[in-house]
A and B are shown apart, each in its own frame.
Chain A
Amino acid sequence: MSEKDIHHGHHEHPKGATITDHVHYQDTEGVIRFEEDHGHHDADRNKKNFIHTYIFSTDHKMIGKQFLITGIFWALIGGGLSNIFRMQLGFPDVPLHFIGAIFGDKWAPNGVMTPDFYNMLITMHGTILVFFVLTAGLSGTFANLLIPLQIGARDMASPVLNMLSYWFFFLAGLVMFISFFVPSGAAGVSWVFYPPLSAIRESSVGSETGADLWLVSMSFFIVSSLLGGLNYITTILNLRAKGMSMAKLPLTIWALLITAILGLLSFPVLLGAAILLMFDRSMGTSFYLDKIYMSGIGAMPHEGGNPILYQHLFWFLGHPEVYIVILPAFGIVSEVLAVNSRKPIFGYRAMVLSMLAIAALAFFVWAHHMFVTGLNPFVGSVFVFLTLLIAIPSAIKVFNWITTMWRANIRYTPAMMFSVGFVSLFISGGLTGIFLGNSAIDIQLHDTYFIVAHFHIVMGVAAFFGMFAGVYHWFPKMFGRFMNRTMGFIHFWITFVGSYCIFWPMHYQGMAGVPRRYYSHGAFESFNKFGGLSEFITIAAIVVFLAQLLFVFNYLYSMYRGKKMTDLNPWKANTIEWTTPINPGHGNWDGPIPTVHRGPYDYGKDGEDFIPQTVPMRPGETTHHG
């Protein structure tokens, strides 16, 4: 018999008799007990207490919700911070007394924020949104929710590691949150954390204790990502239902699988970079530091290090990271577009291969973030070539999304709107990527608002749109209720138009050379003409942020008061998560796990609107896509 703390399933009784559907667990004295499990379903929730159900849950669906709600919390903080520093950029000398009230007058004497505080805001905005929201909030939520449900598994391969993954994430967030309130404030050296600024405590206020806490928090976060990713890959490759071959996986699962592989191979490199940085900061080593003279202190003891080394290590993670952010959105959007177009996804195999190509190229393009570091121009040209290659699989994906919608009888749900919006954003942001991928143009545009516009559109807002599409689409699976449609549409239109209003003008600012990360552009005569544009961007940012509050309200309202789900399969989708009960218990299916017979995109086939994956192939029927 099993000695695991909890083990579902069937076991040989020692005496040879068969016991089915029991939970075996070992109590503190080491005695193994048996308890009736009612076939893995509903009873679980009633039997366990509040803490096991909602807090230290090992149910993948609950962990997914935990990731989502924590992600929403961080999105509000990260987005709120951007509104505060946009106030400084749009209205430089307008006093904001609430900043002093929240963070202490030290950071905003007379309501005008200090440059150090501005640096903290942009650093925390970037860190929180890239890692806590668009990595943990997006992958964490949908990998946990969808992987077991869509592949036909009772839970993750290791539910306990899965729970630990969430709690490491929570711990990372807690440390990051605390860092706002230490005397020297949070880290203020930008989310990329380049040395020597980040490696020498004395170099700025934001390089002090806040930077230590940032590194500790990120170490917890990396552990969380690795535990999560390991589980996702293992589950997808080992625990698929009968008949669910890799070629029958929904594209969401393919996307989450590739995302997890990217994370597993790139996050350890960031950990390596962070370890060396911690030693430079605290132990006096010189990995990233060479001879430095600090005014007021004198010559620093360091010698022989190289700060560019950090950039190589950082971007070896950093570039795959942007695909870690966008790939889950690819998957969600592909699924939502096909379901609401009532058509098979165009070119299923091409969609999978293009994601694999993007993932493979992700590891060979990192130096395109470093064109202005004095990189050898020949090396630069190799990275330009490899970077521009990414346009090919990206274009295939865009083409396939559009052809999926082509002449379709489209059903406009909020999820569908966000998916269409995603395609628009991905094109707009992707095209500027071609500009920036060319080193000759990048040297002009590097560290300007052009790059801010590019990555916010293509990975920031686009990934958020993927996340919104996913939340609107799978909300009924999470809570058994629907989100309000009208509020969803209002949320979509304000966010969609507003996001373009924020980021489109930044392209012009960037082309004119306005540098990013500057506290104030007022001292530069040539940038003063953009003052009006900056005000406009700030107002747009505030409007978009308020629209997100509407989303949060809709989310919370619909959790308790939303329209109840009555039909098992409200979107008439083919994937098997819609064959589970309306409020599935731990174990997902009451009876046996359904057998899968066909691919997930048999829409509009042979005169039928949709054919779920559980319907056997008819004699002589051929597969739809290839």
Chain B
Amino acid sequence: MTLSEENKKQANAQRFGLYLGLASIAMLFTALTSAFLVRQGAGNWLFVNLPIQFWISTVVIILSSITFYYAKAAHASANISQYRLLIWTTFILGIAFILLQYMGWLAMANTGVYLDGNPGGSFIYVISMVHVVHVVLGLVLLAIVSIRTTIKSHNPDHLHKIGLMATYWHFVDFLWIYLFIFFQIKFF
């Protein structure tokens, strides 16, 4: 086996493992949203209009995916200064998303929708909290990848790590869009 082939095999395995991890996260949210659906069908359901903060946070997380996409492209074309700017912008947008979600929960509570009230509200709190946990995990990993790739000299192996990180980030972004739309629909 040639040298690059073994590295490639390793890289492919890592990417494949990441996809499996995403599949299991997807199963977690499938379970939670199907419980949401079944419970909503049973009646006595308070439909919650999502506060404005959740709309803003949706825009913010989509923006962060876009900046991540261009950050990766900048790294691929060895434009490291642009990469640095974009990757840290992504990081800041990620923090902004978490803050906005927190403000969203406060706003819900201000309108009388409490965590321990009708399950219509409780589900939104719990599912969005579980999602935020995945964003926090993503931010920790993003911080590690960003620090490693910005303070070290340019390295083709970095691009692979950035690629894995980007896949996770886009997945968490997509997951939020799915949840956001899901919360807005009156199924029954």
On A, residues with C-beta under 8 Å from B are 1-3, 9-12, 18, 157-158, 161, 226, 229-231, 233-235, 237-239, 264-269, 271-273, 275-276, 279, 283-287, 301, 303-306, 309, 312-313, 316
Contacts and interface: CB of A to CB of B under 8 A. Distances in A.
Contacts of A266: 27
Contacts of B6: 9-10
A167 to B, nearest CB: 18
Nearest to A12: B3
B119 interface: yes
Given A279-B122, A287-B119, A305-B119, A272 B35 contact: yes
Contact of A316 (B24, B31, B123): B31
Contacts of B17: 157-158, 161, 230-231, 233-234
Given A285-B126, A287-B122, A3 B148 contact: yes
A161 B17 CA distance: 11
B139 to A, nearest CB: 19
Interface stretch (B8-16, B77-85, B174-182): B8-16
A225 B39 CA distance: 29
A242 to B, nearest CB: 8
Interface in B18-38: 20-21, 23-25, 27-32, 35, 38
Interface of B: 3-4, 6-7, 9-10, 12-14, 16-17, 20-21, 23-25, 27-32, 35, 38-39, 42, 44-45, 115-116, 118-119, 122-123, 126, 130, 148, 152, 155, 157
A479 B155 CA distance: 42
17 contacts: A11-B3, A229-B24, A230-B21, A233-B17, A233-B20, A238-B9, A238-B12, A267-B24, A268-B25, A275-B126, A276-B32, A283-B116, A285-B126, A287-B122, A306-B39, A309-B38, A316-B31
Given A276-B35, A283-B116, A284-B116, 9 more contacts: A3-B152, A234-B16, A238-B9, A264-B20, A286-B116, A303-B44, A304-B118, A309-B39, A316-B31
Contacts of B25: 268
Contact of B28 (A272, A285, A301): A272
A230 B23 CA distance: 10
Contacts of A273: 31
A9 B10 contact: yes
Contacts of B152: 3
A304 B39 CA distance: 9
A226 B32 CA distance: 18
A285 B122 contact: yes
**Residue of B9, B21, B25 contacting most chain A CB atoms (<10 Å):** B21
A513 B107 CA distance: 55
A268 B27 contact: yes
Q: Which 9 A-B residue pairings sit nearest by Cβ, starting from the closest? A: A284-B116, A272-B31, A268-B28, A238-B13, A268-B27, A269-B31, A234-B17, A157-B13, A285-B122
Contacts of B45: 304
A306 B118 CA distance: 12
B31 A268 contact: yes
A231 B30 CA distance: 22
Nearest to A267: B24
Contacts of B28: 268-269, 271-272
